[in-house]
Structure 1
Amino acid sequence: MAQHIVISSGDINGIGPEIILKALKTDRLNDHTATILSAPEVIEYYCSLLDINLAWHQIPAIDEARPGRVNVLDCYDENEPVSITPGVLSKQAGGYAMKAVECGLELCKRGAADAMVTAPISKEAVNRAGYHIPGHTEFLAENTGTKDFLMMLVNDGLRVGLATIHIPISAVPEALNKRIIERRVKLMHQSLHVDFGIAVPRIAVLGLNPHAGDGGIIGNEERDIISPALESLKKAGITASGPYPADGFFGNKKYDNFDGILAMYHDQGLIPFKTLSFGAGVNFTAGLPIIRTSPDHGTAFDIAGKGQADASSFKQALSLAIALSVNRKREASG
């Protein structure tokens, strides 16, 4: 089943363009269609700078994209000259990055594309450009009218979702409640079933406190919030268990027994995920009406334009976007 994947440029002063071009140069598209959302000057610049020999075609409109080749659709402001300075954080680059995301989102919403892969953005740069957002996930949720969504990190069979995302650790306990836990687990269950094709997903839920609260000695969230949520979920027919102490759960490789893991906060989930994934892994937003994946790393301004960027996570993101799109279409068709 051939898919059309649009790819946002990311911050053009970061490693986004490099990993996109490297991935598309080495990975065969076969019958799939890839369209980079970027000014052609950016593609020309990085192909020349990094000596990447890649055939690409500028197209005037998305319906001109052709399968099995690299298409480039300019979605920047044509009246503004594109300034490219690898390694430099700038308001202009932040604006370009978000224009590409907005373009890709609109194409996916109207069915002109099947999924979007977003290259890394600089949160500081996009905020300077007037987009006051904590990240891609929240921006896409807001602009699709999605109230319930889940940030998931995926690397083969390891899938970690986050109950809370980009908030201070001091704000995490107050942000958690029984309803939030239930909603996040239900979203993960639905996504594992529909997007990943798992018939009966097994989900582990981590505790918030050290030793999962140790019976209330080190905190009450496990007893008062997480455990009651798990009881309700079991009654709803969802296979979810916990709360598990995070250190022992990952240290003893209990994750091998589950299809998905819900962590309570950002670093609780991402530190072990990145350690186990050795630099690979994909960011996927579950619950959106569109499919969006992203490499699990940032702009890496320190190595931008030097040819040192590893495209493996981006390749994973591209492959996962295709697979999720196929699975979601199969589920919709019955």
Structure 2
Amino acid sequence: MKLFFTCGDCNGIGPEIVVKTLTYFYKQKKHKLHFAVPKNIFEESLTLFQSDFEYEIVKSSGQSLQSKRVVSIINLGNMKSAYGKPTKLSGEIAFRSLQESFAAVKNNSADCIITAPISKDAFHKAGIVFPGHTELLASWTKVENVVMFFHSSKLRAALLTIHVPLKTVSFSLDINIIKKKINIVLETLKKDFKIENPRIALLGVNPHAGENGLLGDEEENLFVPLINEFKEQLFGPFPADAFFGMHAYKLFDAVIGAYHDQVLIPFKMLSFSDGVNFTAGLPIVRTSPDHGTAYDIAGKGIADPSSMIHAAKLAVLICENRKSNAATT
């Protein structure tokens, strides 16, 4: 398998956790590993801990395919590091790394993309109009509807809205779009995770799941009709607090929440070390660790690569499942 890692925001922990992940996978000698990053940032990351792998510096992933080396560093030039803060330059480099990864997948130089954390602030400073990887890759692949999906050994979860202010969540919920997202989650569970008859829990958007319309009508107007339509597949709507408090998520193959923190708070409490962010609905495979840039510990060599390692493992699993599906159709 050919794995492509992006550097994310180089002023955060992205390069460090990628290099630690390369060290982990290098020992297995199973995969071809690409990493798009400024050469000097890569070399600085190597000094933060004891690494032991051979690598080559190349100009493109296509060039590295002709080499027998396991690890290829696609050089993005040099960048002066400013650990601990988002800058225009760090946003530009993160964007370029993502461009390299997308080009590699498009020309079959890579099978999947594993993205290191970016800073939305740095993207903004660099004039990049997309708030995150999910929206950017959806635009590049010309896919109208995608789902931010989270996976760990304890919980799978998905979002109906992505990076929107809490005050706009209710206005962002449209029954037709919700239906499309439910179908994406169902297809993802069946094809990417090999779950034949998935069961999905749908969380209410209001306290007490609306209390029969007394505390909001989104559940009655939007969710209940869809639950009736997706019989034996979609269940709820459940009050989020009681649902997680009673560990009801263990009864389902995935949980769909209405907004970011409704899902991400319990997910990260349960799965901070092995949680993975996966963009469902894309024609390409993209995963990332389920944490941010961690500016406060950048450049100190103490960042935990566990989530990045799990992100790479999940990308490999999904690629294998998709290839298996293609072989049987």
User: Structure 1 residue 292 and structure 2 residue 291: aligned?
Assistant: no
Are positions 1:330 and 2:328 aligned together?
Answer: no
Cα RMSD (Å) = 1.6
Of 223, 226, 233, which aligns to 1:226? 223
Shift of 1:42: 1.7
Give the aligned residue type for 1:62.
Answer: S
CA distance in 2, matches of 1:167, 1:117: 24
Contact 1:17-1:43 within 8 A present in 2 as well: yes
1:143 CA drift (Å)? 1.1
Partner of 1:48: 47
Q: Which amino acid in 1 is paired with 2:42? A: I
Structure 1 position 207, deviation (Å)? 0.6
CA contact (8 A) 2:272 2:290 kept: no
Deviations 1:96-116 (A, max 9, x none): 001000111121123221100
Q: Deviations over 1:258-317 (max 9, x none)?
A: 111100100001001011114430000000111000001111111000011111000100
Distance in 2 separating the partners of 1:271 and 1:67: 43
Cα distance in 2 for residues equivalent to 1:322 and 1:49: 27
Q: Is the 8 A contact 1:157 1:259 kept in 2?
A: no
Is the deviation greater in 105-114 or in 6-15?
105-114
Return the letter of the residue paired with 2:276.
V
Residue 88 of structure 1 aligns to a residue whose secondary structure is: coil
Question: What is the CA–CA distance in structure 1 between the aligned matches of 2:82 and 2:131, rounded to whole Å?
Answer: 24
Paired position in structure 1 for 2:145: 148
Report 1:187-202 matches (<5 A).
187-202=184-199
Distance in structure 2 (CA, Å) of the matches to 1:292 and 1:275: 23
**TM-score normalised by the chain length of structure 2:** 0.94
Runs of at least 4 residues of structure 1 off by over 4 A? none
* 1:70 match: 71
Q: Is the 8 A contact 2:154 2:271 kept in 1?
A: no
Query: Match for 2:3 among 2, 5, 13?
Result: 5
1:307 equivalenced with 2:301 (yes/no): yes
Q: C-alpha distance in 2, partners of 1:7/1:299? A: 15
Question: Using the alignment, how far apart are the partners of 2:8 and 2:87 within structure 1?
Answer: 13
- 1:222-261 maps to which residues of 2 (within 5 A)? 222-234=219-231, 239-261=233-255
Which structure 2 segments of 5+ residues have no match? none
Q: Provide TM-score, normalisation by structure 1.
A: 0.93
In structure 2, how many angstroms separate the alpha carbons of the residues matched to 1:29 and 1:36?
17
Deviation at 1:67, TM superposition (A): 6.6
Alignment of 1:118 with 2:112, yes or no, is no
**CA distance in 2 between partners of 1:56 and 1:168 (Å):** 43
Q: Which runs of 5+ in 1 are unaligned?
A: none
Q: Does 1:273 align with 2:267?
A: yes
Identity of aligned residues (%): 40
Contact 1:160 1:269 in 2 (8 A): yes
Q: How does 1:108-187 map to 2 (within 5 A)?
A: 108-187=105-184
